[in-house]
Structure 1
């Protein structure tokens, strides 16, 4: 029975690791019911002494009945017994659940179909654990299905498993091993507590003198080893430094050639994009404000490598590229003479967002002020971290957007020497129909800019494309179908297709994934999950990378997407020349004088002065030295905890010595010293242990006095004080009327000074900072906790039998 319960507990504790995969906890209660159904079958099989091979099929039947009653009760006979209709309903739910987990990004909604899938999976794991641990008596092998359960979140989620969940799962498996060891060692003899004074040769009172073997020490040692292993598994990785991503350990997104321990899975940008777009309800991802109060696309990923199936990325960030080192590298391709709009944006990420190790930023960022180890990719200016996550962060970013117009882009040189060749790379097997389509669309374009605008208009106007989230698949076949036949898709298809067509006609391109500008609510812009978006970025020599918008906008497309102004011809040149600039926006070429007296807040002077150079205002937060000082102070306080405990204990005893009838009774030999002598004796015992001259367990007070006086050559006053304390302790233990204890407080002070004079300065410092007496007390508390577990295991349900008749 104990082993079956331990197997079920180990499975449930491991199932807790799946919590980050789901939005709600309803799946866990379904999984708990499945484990309990397997547990009930295991207990019944043990009660009926079924063979080992019969228990798993019985557990499968029980799990089937439980799932039927929980998820297909309306189709079952008497809501419990499976029928053909209930089997069909369960199969439908399983198929729906499997489809949902493919569609949604974690955390997935815990609907009925997904909850059924989770409950069934955990129930199957419970059957395997019960088979190995209970039927085959191979508890160690039961760790394999438990490990398989733990690898699910480890392979899906980019962040590590939380240490509280890991500790619970490890404790569950350790409990299973302990239960199995107890079953095996229990056959050796009767179990007793390890610190009881019984020896292995305890005589039986009722019938003979057969010895009882004490196996508790073995089991207690196993528990200590297990708990120590769990503590080390949690503490050691936290203490080890994280390796920097040097040339031997690259940081990348993409499966080919990465091989890094700090890599992010390639499907995550695109899978998370569609998963957020398909969420059944709108949830806030972030909010932001900026000094010109305009919405801006916030880019997270820049996918620059196309392998013929989908776009990927391999960002790299060295320690020199940390955001706290100052301004980021200059935007690639942006010339010095180009007018830019300098904007400061304050972004606040929601606490609920997960799996985000990249910061949403307006492009191109020039400086980012954020807490943590965040680094910039030199080529794309993505900002990412291998240690921290963006959830709950609030940060400031200064960006310098090139203030371009259609006329300016028309006059740019047609050279592409500043772009890396990978931005023009295309697979050799690209269908010729796609190349012909790109050539036909841009046939009348005289410049690179005109070709880019015609490609955008092909998707938004002339191509009769429609917006739909039902499109699936990647690769040349999906690209050909999207461009030539179906012409229905969502932003990822539009962005990737325009990027491919741009490369066909010789325009360097890449795909950006992030969020649109969102919706203005009160004084902040709110960005939600349905604002997830993907768009292409095209390269123009002299201004760098510019976003384009091929996805249909408005009610029939992605509502918050906006077509860039430089891709739309102006309505009237006169209106364009008379348009007043937006208040709050500044540019590097602005030379209008500003009256300092018009500003009320002095910080605005610093902010606007820094904006003129594309930087952030000075940071008023605590400097690094202050943070290091606070951390050192906290560490010092932790190290002083034993010393504080020792001072508190000594103060309590000294106060007891000043009161009659108060103090601590301390056992010495076979009796207990009466207060206040007991407080003095306990303090003397701790002093001896702290100074490395501990009292022997069998040593009487008089023998202790003689040993200390002779070995340390105490003076007359110290010897008399020690003898007075010993005499008071003996009278308190054995005399009917011990009389007056005498000046015990003064004698204890004299003995403490004499003991301190006999040891080295290092020993005295250790006695104050890390007193062995306090450390011993902490260790005894831990052993007492283990003994408490031992007593719980020794509990038995007693069964009362009726006395025979006639007795």
Structure 2
């Protein structure tokens, strides 16, 4: 009877982790109703002792009736019983929900199709959990469907899951395991009561000590949950995005240590499919021309998706240290144009730890700890966000001529990873060779590849696509030839690598639209494009995505990638094709602070800034170890506080004659009680604990004889025992002097008889304090036991009813 209820509770607790995926709460109330419907069906199945196979069938029926009543009740018979029309409407909502989830990025709007899809999914998880727990009696295996539900936000969201949601889900699963254990024990007879009666505690009734049995399972569960939450906060994070978003290496604003890199491709598609085309940023440039603003450079293709290699942003690569590293492959003799860009990021933009920049940036002035990746010149931060940031960029953009690109090296000096490809279908490599046929240079082949997508290949632009893996890539290139910017960019980069041209995929924004004096970039200007490498010029952007009304409206084809008229095509052997010399900047790529003024004569860069070094790794690890040591020293600190409080109670003063009777008695009582309690703890810490039946006088005698106390120590322990007995049993305790000196002598004598290891343990991990903390934990767990044993009415009341 209990197991179906706890199955529903566990499912609902884990489903709370889905809350960051939605903008509203309709999905939550719908899921609550679905879990209740499945739970009621499970309780009915248990009451009627239906066969195991019938229980999930009844759960499916209950879920179907609930979904019909909530979402298509107007087309059902009596608002409940499904009909052909209501079933068709549910299927339509289901299809619409799938389409909406693919269109929107999280958090998705909480419209009826998406809410219905989520409700149905949570209901199905509840049915599977009930099947494992109640019918198959495999409660541990029920964690698999719950884990599948938990991994949905973990896989979709770029931000970590909040620890409160994790704790609720973990407590739900732990409670399910405890309920299953109680159910199994119940088959053997009546369970042992977990609470001790007062009669038993007073000695009037003998009962078995079942504390270890009743607490073992809960200790394991609560300890596992606590370790899962606390350990990430104490250990340095080696990977992006720790589960709960805090710790030494957490990501996000103010947390420092690592950089959170979401899936750029998934985010790109989500932004393009958003119904609202909101403003993302605006900028002005010194030449008043639009330009692409790159965020990510993806250089690894595994056959499924494009990703980026690990970034290298050392402290010396902070943007406030001066010019950025020189652009890879850009020769000093290549003509460049110097452009200054002022960029303002919207306050409402999603958390972004990368700066949108024109390529190649040479100087960035931005507030915060922003660093440049040496290879790609992406600028990122592990502790600051771009939202609301205003920054300035100086870029030196190459102006290559077709002749110079023709003359670029056939074997570029660049990392081989930029031409690596997984095993691809033969048709793709053959297509690349066919397109590049009769091209005398790599540059001519790149231009033909771009023309293939924009003119000769018959491609069309559409956001309704089937993904970006190898199968989708083959379908895009060979059959459908329909896709959006990410597929165009990915396909051209793959074809370029197939014929030996280094290539990668850039993701960011197109130039946007001119509004008054500023260029405005909106959500639908999100874009992906390929970057191809040519020795002496470096990385150049190409544009294979159709522009204008047939494609992405603000996409622009670079001038250098346009085909040359046939009559002006020069030979690569003509001496007139030598690279153009001269530059708007001094020869030599700027890579030091000494060249700063030559690069920035108008003062975009504000001048010398004192370097702010981030915390080295060894310091971070040391802080984590120090925090762990402080945690381990908590028992010692608690013991010290308790001892000091007792020592202050060992002495007293009488303020005057009127205070002689009442105040003296109270202070004497507190002093003797403090001395006896402190002596009890000292004995426990040194492994000489007093037996419960041992009187103070017997304790003093045993310690004196067993440890051969000298006359002073024997007199002190006898004085303490005598004071305790007089206070407890004498009608008139008489005159009792403060016991501070006696307690100090006894403690020193006991320490002298203990080993060095025992004394160290008594100082750092005092057993008396550990036992006290253990007792507090047992009382907390007893509170959970009381909640489990609550009955709405007693068994006798039910009989009388």
* Paired residues of 2:7 and 2:176 also in contact (CA < 8 A): yes
Q: Report what 1:142 is aligned to.
A: 142
How do 1:315-394 and structure 2 match up within 5 A?
315-317=308-310, 321=312, 323-324=314-315, 331-338=327-334, 353=350, 363-364=359-360
C-alpha displacement of 1:36: 1.1
2:509 counterpart of 1:515: yes
* Paired residues of 1:364 and 1:399 also in contact (CA < 8 A): no
| Cα gap change, 1:559 to 1:622, in 2 (>3 Å) | farther
Give per-residue Cα distances to partners, 1:556-601, cap 9 Å, x unaligned.
75455455476689xxxxxxxxxx999xxx9789999979xx9999
Q: Report what 1:207 is aligned to.
A: none
2:692 counterpart of 1:690: no
Give per-residue Cα distances to partners, 1:662-711, cap 9 Å, x unaligned.
89999xxxxxx953422221122122223333222222111111222233
Q: Report what 1:126 is aligned to.
A: 126
C-alpha displacement of 1:177: 2.0
Q: Report what 2:256 is aligned to.
A: none
2:790 counterpart of 1:795: yes
* Alignment partner of 1:619 out of 612, 629, 647: 612
* Alignment partner of 2:712 out of 706, 717, 740: 717
Q: Report what 1:475 is aligned to.
A: 473
C-alpha displacement of 1:170: 3.0
Distance in 2 between the 1:524 and 1:131 partners? 61
Distance in 1 between the 2:54 and 2:220 partners? 35
Give per-residue Cα distances to partners, 1:111-133, cap 9 Å, x unaligned.
32122112112112212222332
C-alpha displacement of 1:713: 3.5
Distance in 2 between the 1:591 and 1:339 partners? 22
| Cα gap change, 1:2 to 1:658, in 2 (>3 Å) | farther
* Alignment partner of 2:645 out of 626, 634, 652: 652
Deviates more, 1:358-367 or 1:226-235: 358-367
* Paired residues of 1:192 and 1:214 also in contact (CA < 8 A): no
C-alpha displacement of 1:793: 1.9
Give per-residue Cα distances to partners, 1:105-160, cap 9 Å, x unaligned.
55544432122112112112212222332344443343343344345455656887
Deviates more, 1:459-468 or 1:676-685: 459-468
Q: Report what 1:605 is aligned to.
A: 607
Task: Point out where structure 2 has 5 or more consecutive residues left out of the alignment.
Answer: 241-260, 319-323, 564-582, 655-661
| Cα gap change, 1:587 to 1:397, in 2 (>3 Å) | farther
Distance in 2 between the 1:184 and 1:433 partners? 65
Instruction: Select the structure with the greater relative contact order (CA < 8 A; seq sep ≥ 6).
Output: 2
C-alpha displacement of 1:94: 0.7
| Cα gap change, 1:736 to 1:592, in 2 (>3 Å) | closer
SS in 1 for 2:223: helix
Give per-residue Cα distances to partners, 1:46-96, cap 9 Å, x unaligned.
445555444333322221221122222332344333333221211111111
2:739 counterpart of 1:748: no
* Paired residues of 1:413 and 1:541 also in contact (CA < 8 A): no
2:705 counterpart of 1:703: no
Distance in 1 between the 2:798 and 2:272 partners? 70
TM-score by length of 2: 0.73
How do 1:498-647 and structure 2 match up within 5 A?
498-499=492-493, 508-516=502-510, 529-551=523-545, 558=552, 561=555, 563-564=557-558, 604-606=606-608, 618-619=611-612, 634-635=627-628, 637-647=630-640
Q: Report what 1:176 is aligned to.
A: 176
Q: Report what 1:728 is aligned to.
A: 723
| Cα gap change, 1:512 to 1:296, in 2 (>3 Å) | closer
Q: Report what 1:573 is aligned to.
A: none
Deviates more, 1:162-171 or 1:681-690: 162-171
Q: Report what 2:215 is aligned to.
A: 220
SS in 2 for 1:536: strand
Distance in 1 between the 2:150 and 2:800 partners? 55
* Paired residues of 1:452 and 1:502 also in contact (CA < 8 A): yes
C-alpha displacement of 1:34: 0.6
SS in 2 for 1:604: coil
* Alignment partner of 2:295 out of 299, 306, 312: 299
Deviates more, 1:57-66 or 1:356-365: 356-365
| Cα gap change, 1:560 to 1:686, in 2 (>3 Å) | farther
Distance in 2 between the 1:158 and 1:725 partners? 65
Distance in 1 between the 2:448 and 2:800 partners? 103
Q: Report what 1:88 is aligned to.
A: 88
SS in 2 for 1:535: strand
Task: Point out where structure 1 has 5 or more consecutive residues left out of the alignment.
Answer: 205-210, 246-265, 570-579, 608-616, 667-672
What's the RMSD between the two structures over aligned residues?
5.5
How do 1:47-196 and structure 2 match up within 5 A?
47-153=47-153, 164-186=164-186, 187-193=188-194
| Cα gap change, 1:491 to 1:600, in 2 (>3 Å) | closer
TM-score by length of 1: 0.73
| Cα gap change, 1:76 to 1:390, in 2 (>3 Å) | farther
Distance in 1 between the 2:385 and 2:742 partners? 62
Give per-residue Cα distances to partners, 1:267-297, cap 9 Å, x unaligned.
9543432122112335677899999999651
C-alpha displacement of 1:243: 7.6
| Cα gap change, 1:237 to 1:588, in 2 (>3 Å) | closer
SS in 1 for 2:530: strand
C-alpha displacement of 1:27: 2.0
2:42 counterpart of 1:42: yes
* Paired residues of 1:712 and 1:758 also in contact (CA < 8 A): yes
* Paired residues of 2:339 and 2:395 also in contact (CA < 8 A): yes
Distance in 1 between the 2:799 and 2:593 partners? 105
Give per-residue Cα distances to partners, 1:163-185, cap 9 Å, x unaligned.
55444333222212211222232
Distance in 2 between the 1:497 and 1:140 partners? 45
Distance in 2 between the 1:299 and 1:644 partners? 50
How do 1:243-258 and structure 2 match up within 5 A?
none
| Cα gap change, 1:110 to 1:377, in 2 (>3 Å) | farther
* Paired residues of 1:366 and 1:397 also in contact (CA < 8 A): no
Distance in 2 between the 1:763 and 1:352 partners? 60
SS in 1 for 2:508: strand
* Paired residues of 1:412 and 1:541 also in contact (CA < 8 A): no
| Cα gap change, 1:40 to 1:506, in 2 (>3 Å) | closer
| Cα gap change, 1:416 to 1:240, in 2 (>3 Å) | same
Q: Report what 1:11 is aligned to.
A: 11
* Paired residues of 1:189 and 1:213 also in contact (CA < 8 A): no
C-alpha displacement of 1:229: 4.0
| Cα gap change, 1:144 to 1:481, in 2 (>3 Å) | closer
Distance in 2 between the 1:524 and 1:755 partners? 82
| Cα gap change, 1:389 to 1:116, in 2 (>3 Å) | farther
Distance in 1 between the 2:789 and 2:665 partners? 32
Distance in 2 between the 1:504 and 1:785 partners? 65
Distance in 1 between the 2:798 and 2:694 partners? 52
Distance in 1 between the 2:768 and 2:518 partners? 59
* Paired residues of 2:362 and 2:396 also in contact (CA < 8 A): no
* Paired residues of 2:21 and 2:107 also in contact (CA < 8 A): yes
Distance in 2 between the 1:802 and 1:188 partners? 21
Give per-residue Cα distances to partners, 1:248-279, cap 9 Å, x unaligned.
xxxxxxxxxxxxxxxxxx99543432122112
How many residue pairs get aligned? The number is: 733
